[in-house]
Amino acid sequence: MSTLDTSSTGLAALLSPGTVRSTVLPVVRQQVSALEPTLARVCSYHLGFTDEHGDLSGAANGKLTRAALMTAAAQGVGLRPEDVRSQAAALELLHNSTLIHDDIIDADELRRGRPAAWKVFGASLAILAGDALQALSLQMVVDDPGPGRAEISCAFAEANRLVLAGQSREFTVRLGSGAGIAEYDRIVEEKTSALLQCALVTPALRAGSPEHVLAALRGAGRHLGLAFQIFNDVEDIWGDPAVTGKPVRGDIERRNPSLPVLAALSAGGPAGERLRGLWQAGGTTAAHLQEIADLTEEAGGRHTAEQRSRDHLDSALEHLGRAGLTPAASAELTALFDRIVNRTA
Whose Cβ is closer to a second copy: residue 72's or residue 129's?
A: 129
Q: Which of 37, 277, 282, 327 binds a second copy (CB under 8 A)?
A: 37
Q: Which residues of 103-121 are buried (b: 16+ CB within 10 A; e: fewer)?
A: bbebebeebbebebbbbbb
Task: Give the torsion sign (CA, 144, 146, 150, 152).
Answer: negative
- Interacting span for a second copy (CB under 8 A) from 34-42, 219-227, 231-239, 262-270: 34-42
Question: How far, in Å, CA of 146 to CA of 142, rounded?
Answer: 10
By CB under 8 A, tell whether 149 contacts a second copy.
Answer: yes
- Distant-in-sequence, close-in-space partners of 265: CB < 8 Å, separation ≥ 6: 272, 275, 276, 279, 299, 301
d(CA 96, CA 74): 22
169 scored as a contact of a second copy (CB under 8 A): yes
136 scored as a contact of a second copy (CB under 8 A): yes
In the complex, minimum distance from the CB of residue 143 to a second copy, in angstroms, rounded to a whole number: 6
- Contact indicator for 310, 337 with CB cutoff of 8 Å: no
36 binds a second copy (CB under 8 A): yes
How do strand 110-111 and strand 114-115 relate by DSSP bridges?
A: antiparallel
Q: How far is the CB of 110 from a second copy (least distance, A)?
A: 18
Amino acid at 271: A
Q: Which is nearer to a second copy, 110 or 123 (CB)?
A: 123
Pick from 44, 71, 167, 258: which binds a second copy (CB under 8 A)? 167
- We find the least distance from the C-beta atom of residue 136 to a second copy, in angstroms, to be 7
Give the residue, chosen from 11, 35, 74, 252, that forms a contact with a second copy under the rule CB under 8 A.
35
Residues 108-127: x/- map of binding to a second copy (CB under 8 A)? ---------------xxx-x
Closest CA to 134 of 126, 122, 123: 126
By the rule CB under 8 A, 154 interacts with a second copy: yes
Q: Which helix (H) or strand (E) holds 110?
A: strand 110-111
Q: What one-character DSSP code corresponds to residue 189?
A: I
Give contact residues for a second copy (rule: CB under 8 A). 35-39, 101, 104-105, 123-125, 127-132, 134-136, 138-139, 142-143, 145, 149-150, 153-154, 157-158, 160-161, 164-169, 171-172
